[in-house]
Amino acid sequence: MPVKYFHSVTLDEALCKGCTVCIKGCPTEAIRVQKGRAWITAERCIDCGECIRTCPSGAKKAISDPLSMLDDFDFKIAIPAPTLYGQFPVTLSCNKILTALKSMGFDDVFEVAVAAEILSRETRDYLKQQNSDNPLISSSCPVVVRLVETRFPSLIDQLVPMISPMELSARIVKDKYKDRTDRVGVFFISPCAAKVTDVKTPRGIVKSSVDGVIGIKDIFKELSHAVNHVENEENLNRARAIGISWARTDGEGSAVHSENHISVDGIDHVIDVLENLENGHIKNVDFVEMMSCPGGCVGGPLTVENPYIARNIITSRERSHQAPMEHDSSGEGYNTIDMIGLQWTEEIESCATHLLDPDYKKAMEMMEEMEIIRQGLPGLDCGSCGAPSCKALAEDIVRGKTTETDCVFMLREKIRELTREMIELESRLPPGLDR
């Protein structure tokens, strides 16, 4: 089956200066600078948004859906990520934020945090049933799932095979309005670029129930105005502390009530811990929460508030939402959950993006050649060639994508050689004069 690549993270060519800052920060070495601009290799990009954070010119963008997409549907429901609550001061209640959001053209809102609570409980039960020595890895961050399938396929079996809170929310509302005959549209209000990718090309399920993903930053201005103009706030907030906490690091980790869990955030730390998991170095741990963004989703590339401030707001809101889950005690009705299904139905396939060649012998030859080329390069990892390191350049050369003279030092060496040859030639006299 051919792998389809869709990416929400893209480049605005007009803004790119070719400065090479982004190639260094990309955790999967997916970016090269050539012909004065950056190029992203689709197979390697995991949509972590790291380049969006580092590009000094704002040339890396995340494509999300425009609010105008609402016009394509008759009945519209917003499903906001818990992170949204961290974007407004605690003095503005969750109800006020939700009422304002609803007023922007939605017929209903349903908090993703509520689905997160349900999933916390399910994951808790799932963990209890496991009796393997290998820790389970959270699959709620789509970047982590993509990282595992491309770079750590030996850990695929350790991923918790459950849909994300976003997906569950969409399924719950689609179920709630299943009798409507008009077009029902569900929109995720997102801190996350990778969720756009996850909706278009999901993993673990066949098709996403989400119809559109709208970046928090893209509606923030309008939403702030709306928040300030709410007169009668509706009682829309159901989510409690547990669900809200998923917005920050260790929210999910604590919510699953595992005695020995670790929580990791930031893509570099995530990679480091995945390496350690693969080495078997992480023992006596039963659950690993992994969030690609610094601080968790509060640090997502589509947010507006500083992640540390947002995290602080989230923890304050958790304190004021300590009462038990309403839908648990009042039985307000998510009892259809069993029918909706929370587990993955599709296998996650390993797709090794760093493979040199499918033929082992050929790959081996390429690797040998790569070693020789690398030894000839200066080893400064300066990035002037447009590749993140000399090693990466050596790989590009072997893959036939570029040549040694991309390296400025090699180029200078070549020029020197040529100059020597020219001087040598210049000193030779025509045979008639040479005596």
Partner 1 sequence: MIFEYEVSGDDYSLAGRASSDIKKKLKQLGIPSPVIKKTAISMYEAEINMVIHADGGKIVVTLNPEQIKIVLEDTGPGIPDLDQAMQEGYTTACEAARELGFGAGMGLMNIQRNSDSLHIDTVIGQGTTVTILLYMNG
Tell me: does residue 15 bind partner 1 (CB under 8 A).
no
Q: How far apart are CA 315 and CA 311, in angstroms?
A: 6
Shorter beta-carbon distance to ligand SF4: residue 227 or 267: 267
Which of 9, 22, 101, 216 is the binder for ligand SF4 (CB under 6 A)?
22
Tell me: does residue 16 bind ligand SF4 (CB under 6 A).
yes
> Long-range CB contacts (< 8 A, 24+ apart) of 363-368?
366/398, 366/399
From 151-159, 234-242, 339-347, 409-417, give the range in contact with partner 1 by CB under 8 A: 151-159
CB of 370 to partner 1, least distance (A): 9
Q: Which residue spans within 30-107 are E strands per DSSP? A: 31-34, 37-40, 60-62, 75-80
Which of 98, 141, 148, 219 is the binder for ligand SF4 (CB under 6 A)?
141
Tell me: does residue 19 bind ligand SF4 (CB under 6 A).
yes
Which of 364, 372, 380, 415 is the binder for partner 1 (CB under 8 A)?
364
> Long-range CB contacts (< 8 A, 24+ apart) of 91-96?
92/227, 93/233, 93/237, 94/237, 94/239, 94/317, 94/321, 95/233, 95/234, 95/235, 95/236, 95/237, 96/227, 96/230, 96/233
Query: 275 is written with which tokens?
Result: 């390496």
In the chain, the amino acid numbered 154 is S
Tell me: does residue 327 bind ligand SF4 (CB under 6 A).
no
Shorter beta-carbon distance to partner 1: residue 361 or 435: 361
Which of 183, 221, 354, 414 is the binder for partner 1 (CB under 8 A)?
354
Contacted entry of ligand SF4, partner 1, none for residue 153, CB cut-off 5 to 8 Å set by kind: partner 1
> Long-range CB contacts (< 8 A, 24+ apart) of 137-141?
137/277, 137/288, 137/290, 138/252, 138/253, 138/287, 138/288, 138/289, 138/290, 139/164, 139/204, 140/164, 140/165, 140/246, 140/252, 141/194, 141/290, 141/291, 141/292
Which of 10, 17, 177, 366 is the binder for ligand SF4 (CB under 6 A)?
17
Query: 104 is written with which tokens?
Result: 């922007």
CB of 302 to ligand SF4, least distance (A): 8
For residues 228-257, which are near partner 1 according to CB under 8 A?
none
Tell me: does residue 21 bind ligand SF4 (CB under 6 A).
yes
Tell me: does residue 293 bind ligand SF4 (CB under 6 A).
yes
> In a 3-state reduction of DSSP, which class is residue 140?
coil
From 41-49, 149-157, 162-170, 221-229, give the range in contact with partner 1 by CB under 8 A: 149-157
From 16-24, 153-161, 235-243, 278-286, give the range in contact with ligand SF4 by CB under 6 A: 16-24
- Please, which residues bridge with residue 403 across strands? none
Q: Is the dihedral of CA 221, 9, 301, 35 positive or negative?
A: negative
Contacted entry of partner 1, ligand SF4, none for residue 367, CB cut-off 5 to 8 Å set by kind: partner 1
* Residue 106: closest CA among 193, 195, 234: 234
Tell me: does residue 372 bind partner 1 (CB under 8 A).
no
> In a 3-state reduction of DSSP, which class is residue 270?
helix
Tell me: does residue 150 bind ligand SF4 (CB under 6 A).
no
Which of 35, 207, 361, 435 is the binder for partner 1 (CB under 8 A)?
361
From 54-62, 130-138, 254-262, 316-324, give the range in contact with ligand SF4 by CB under 6 A: 54-62
Query: 234 is written with which tokens?
Result: 């509706």
Contacted entry of ligand SF4, partner 1, none for residue 17, CB cut-off 5 to 8 Å set by kind: ligand SF4
Shorter beta-carbon distance to partner 1: residue 331 or 358: 358
Q: How many CB atoms lie within 10 A of CB 204?
A: 20
Tell me: does residue 275 bind partner 1 (CB under 8 A).
yes
For residues 58-77, which are near ligand SF4 according to CB under 6 A?
59-60
Contacted entry of partner 1, ligand SF4, none for residue 38, CB cut-off 5 to 8 Å set by kind: ligand SF4
Q: How many CB atoms lie within 10 A of CB 230?
A: 18
Q: How many CB atoms lie within 10 A of CB 166?
A: 27
Q: How far apart are CA 109 and CA 188, in angstroms?
A: 10
CB of 364 to partner 1, least distance (A): 6
In the complex, the residues that contact partner 1 under the rule CB under 8 A are 151, 153-154, 275, 278-281, 350, 352, 354-358, 360-361, 363-364, 367-368
